Structure 1
Amino acid sequence: MVTPSAEARLRELALMLPPPPTPFGAYVEAVQIGPLLFLSGMLPVVGHVPSYVGLLGQDLSVAQGYDAARTACLSGLSAARAQLGSLDRIRTIAKLGVYIATTSDFREHPKVADGASELLLQLFGETRIPPRIVLGVSSVPLGMPIEIELVLEIEH
């Protein structure tokens, strides 16, 4: 059985990518080095407007954190598509980092990070699901709860 392309899966799942994110400071959203595309930290924003603000375990629930991770990942995919022209150029996801702003006693990091991981699984399939690192941090830029890091291997 042939795995559908990421672009075809987007259509099948009726997912719309947000507009490609633009920097909040002096940096670029993506840079390609050889076959790797490095994305800047992706936040849960649409058009520079935060979808969520606050800490997990204090202001936001696990479900809201899951959605924030998914939203940030969609922004990352939008940045990748803007750089590459198509998500179908992504050969594999080399790394997923999920940084979660939490209270010191929060323990549900994996459930929150699955918002990004499960989206990537849906779009790219089991053979391309990435390794990941999930960290709880005291803050993320602009008071948002999630920052996603993606490194992608691309087809030339």
Structure 2
Amino acid sequence: MNTYERMTNLGITLPIAPPSPGPFLGAIRVGNQVVVSGQVPLINDAVMTVGLVGDSVSIEEGQKNARIAILNALAQVETLVGDITKIKQFVRLAGYVAATPDFTQHGKVIDGASELLRDIFPDRWEHARIAIGVSSLPRGVPVEIELTLIVDDDQ
């Protein structure tokens, strides 16, 4: 079963890659390495959720936002290389969580993105990861995801 068939079975479709909100690219390729700029949880160019995890946003809502952000990151990859089946290996997922000062479960929020990668790419989802708590993120969103991966043009 290829990646797109697996996504269909999971009831997932990639969105259209959101346009960059500033003077930078949504993703850039250097050799076989792709770096995706920070992606926020946008659905049809609209912010999914605003607020801080630990206040108006629950851990579960944060996880849902992380899943939407990682899908936007994969959409950036698809736009750049033409096909996400070319993804050979994930290298690093950086997750930023806008949270209250006393919130300490940032990793649990970013698990939403990591688990979705595992579901979509069960044979190559492994990645290094960092989950960082911040006081705010662009557009007031609770989560931002950055992704680095390797692609293989022979696939």
When the two structures are superposed, what TM-score results if normalisation uses the length of structure 2?
0.94
Match of 2:69 in 1: 72
1:11 aligned onto 2:18: no
Gaps of 5+ in 1: none
Q: Residues 30-61 of structure 1: CA distance to partner in whole angstroms, max 9, x if unpaired?
A: 11001101111000002321001111011100
1:24 aligned onto 2:21: yes
> After the TM superposition, which parts of structure 1 deviate over 4 Å for at least 4 consecutive aligned residues?
none
TM-fit CA distance, 1:139: 0.9
Q: Is the 8 A contact 2:91 2:149 kept in 1?
A: yes
Match of 2:128 in 1: 131
> How many pairs does the alignment contain?
153
The correspondence for 2:50, drawn from 48, 53, 56, is 53
Gaps of 5+ in 2: none
Q: Residues 104-128 of structure 1: CA distance to partner in whole angstroms, max 9, x if unpaired?
A: 1002212111110000000111543
TM-fit CA distance, 1:142: 1.3
Of stretches 45-54 and 120-129 in structure 1, the one that deviates more from structure 2 is: 120-129
Q: Could you tell me which amino acid in structure 2 is paired with residue 65 of structure 1?
A: G
Q: Is the 8 A contact 1:66 1:116 kept in 2?
A: yes
Question: Percent identity among equivalent residues?
Answer: 36
Distance 2:120 2:151 in 1: 15
Distance 2:9 2:31 in 1: 31
Match of 1:119 in 2: 116
Distance 2:2 2:137 in 1: 33
Distance 2:66 2:124 in 1: 21
What secondary structure, in the 3-state scheme, does the structure 2 residue paired with 1:118 have?
Answer: helix
Q: CA RMSD in A?
A: 1.1
What secondary structure, in the 3-state scheme, does the structure 2 residue paired with 1:12 have?
Answer: helix
